[in-house]
Structure 1
Amino acid sequence: MFRGNHPTRVDEKGRLKLPADFKRRVDEVYGPQFYITSLDGKRAQIHPLKEWEKIEAQVAKLSSMDPVRKKFLDVTNYYGQMAEMDAQGRLLIPQLLRETAKVVGEVNVLGSQTFLEVVNAEMFKAEVQGTGGAVELTASDLAAFAEKTNS
């Protein structure tokens, strides 16, 4: 399980060095192969190949004529590329995704359970910052979460 936030950098060549906590998990459970993509062009998603193949298996159950299936594949293929972690624990973020999501320089690497998300640090803070300046969940956010999780 990937969890937490690890501020780091994407270097000038577009390489992201996996934070130590995440790299340890990758080494123990997944191995060096990944599929890097995005659902919206705002965040890079780094999926260990084993986890991405589970998503592909779910997609394969849909009709090839299903418009949702086609859109999902179009978007994830447009942004996506296979990547292999090098000996220093670095992954090359696809150029199109680096440019579109602005994942260059200072970034946050967020654990999202079975995959990692890479976001531009400044843009991410602006996105989740509340009116009081804190990164927060609002009462309506918490209510929606409780409703969806039946808590």
Structure 2
Amino acid sequence: MTENTENTEKDHYTVDVVCIRGGNEVLLIERGWPPYKGRLALPGGSVDPGEKRRVAAVRELGEETGVRVTAEDLTRVGTFDAPGRDPRGRYITRAYLVTVPSGTTAQADTDAAAVQWVPVDAVLTDLAENLAFDHHAIVTAAWQQLTTR
């Protein structure tokens, strides 16, 4: 008898965007759907077939928050792929950082129940355990990258 070692779990590719306004606020959405319905999360979502990740990040940020940036505005933070980071299965995300001027406004669009600008300090401390998925780790990595430039 031979053991079947083939991995049958399908990988899903997503993007997340850490959008920083005025140097000290991060843009979060309120998830309007499971998993983590009602919890705060970074704007992001699935990469469509044939779509480049940066293009997907720009699209998702715009769809969820109305904030418009270009692919060239994005800085790569890293790839987050820990097993169990998403309860739906194997989701591998590429995270990006973008900074926008202090007057930038956002509003919930088609893919978010609500949006809000939150002080980065609050996200890194008070809200740490309340963010969906591993978004606290993503914000932490982006903030470290931004503040050590």
Same fold by TM-score greater than 0.5: no
Greater share of strand: 2
Q: Give the TM-score normalised by the residue count of structure 2.
A: 0.29
Greater share of helix: 1
Q: Give the TM-score normalised by the residue count of structure 1.
A: 0.29
